[in-house]
Amino acid sequence: MLIASFPAGPWQANCYLVAAAAGAECVIIDPGVDAAEGVRSVVAEHELRPVAVLASHGHLDHTYAIADLADGYGVPCWINGADRDLLADPFAAMPAGVDRMLADSGYRTEFAEPDRVETLADGDRLTLAGLEFTHVAAPGHTPGSSLLRLPYAEDGFSEVIFSGDVLFAGSIGRTDLPRGNPTRMLETLRTTVIGLPDSAAVLPGHGSQTTVARELAANPYLQPEHLQQEKEQGEHT
C-alpha cells in the first residue's frame, strides 16, 4: 500500500493520498489550505489516478482545496452529513476573524460545494481505489468529525486510522471552537477511541503519526482517571 502525506497551509494540516500501489487509483484525504499543488505533485510523482476525496470533518484547514481537486479530477467528495454545510460555509465553525486573516494573506474567502458530494453516516463502508474504508462517527471537535479506518496488514499493524482532529499524538481535538462540544467529545473518547485496537496506526490531522497502543498508555486525555473526572464534572454542571 502507498500512503503519502504532507502538512499544508498556515495550520499545517496533514493531507494524505492513499493507494494500493504506485500507478493505481488513489483517494485524497483532507486537502486543506495550500494542499492542491502538493496533491497534484504526489499524483504525478507516483502516477496515481484520484477517484475520491474524503474529509475527516468540515473545518477549513482540512477542506479548503476539496472543491478544486474534486471538480478538477471529476470525482466525488465524501463527508459526514453533519458537517456537509461547512463545505460551502466553513466560517460557521471557525473563530471570528479567520476570514479576514485569510483575505489579508491572499486566500479566497468564498466557497461552494464541489459538484458531487456524498454524505457518510456512522458505520458506512466505502470501497474506493480497491481499498475498503470504514467511516466511524466521532463527534465533539465538530458534529461531523470522523475516524476513517482502513485495513493495513504491514509493519505489525492491523489497520490505519485517519483520525482527523479527534486524536493526536499526546492530545485530542479542541472543543472550544464554534460547533465544538466537550460532552460529545468525552463520549467519543470513552465509547469509540478507547475501544480501538492496540495494533492500529494513527495518522492524525496535525502532527506526527502515532499508535492506539501508545495513546492509550500515555495520552493524558485517555487515562481512566481523566475520563471519569470529566464525566463526573459534566454530570454536575
pTM as predicted: 0.94
Check residue 153 and give its pLDDT.
87
Alpha-carbon span 98 to 60, nearest angstrom: 10
Alpha carbon separation from 96 to 12, 116, 127, 212 (Å, rounded): 20, 29, 38, 34
At 163 the three-state DSSP class reads strand
The C-alpha cell that represents 98 in the structure block = 479567520
Rounded Cα distance between 35 and 7, Å, is 8
Per DSSP, 219 falls in state -
Contact between 59 and 90 under an 8 Å Cβ cutoff? The reply is yes
Work out whether strand 171-172 and strand 159-164 pair parallel, antiparallel, or are unpaired: unpaired
Specify the pLDDT at position 155. Answer: 84
Contact between 160 and 154 (Cβ < 8 Å): no
Contact 16, 6 (CB under 8 A): no
Taking the chain (237 residues) in runs of 10, the rounded mean pLDDT of each run is 96 98 98 98 98 98 98 98 98 94 94 97 97 98 98 92 98 96 96 96 98 96 83 55
Q: Which helix (H) or strand (E) holds 212?
A: helix 212-218
* The predicted structure's pLDDT at residue 227: 86
* Maximum C-alpha span of the chain: 56
Query: What does the block give as the cell for 132?
Result: 475498503
Cα(101)–Cα(71) distance, integer angstroms: 26
Percent helix, strand, coil in the chain, to 5, is 30, 30, 40
pLDDT tens digits, one per residue of 99-157: 999 999 999 999 999 999 999 999 999 999 999 999 999 999 999 999 999 999 888 89
Question: Can you tell me the distance from the alpha carbon of 205 to that of 134, in angstroms, rounded to the nearest whole number?
Answer: 17
pLDDT of residue 225: 83
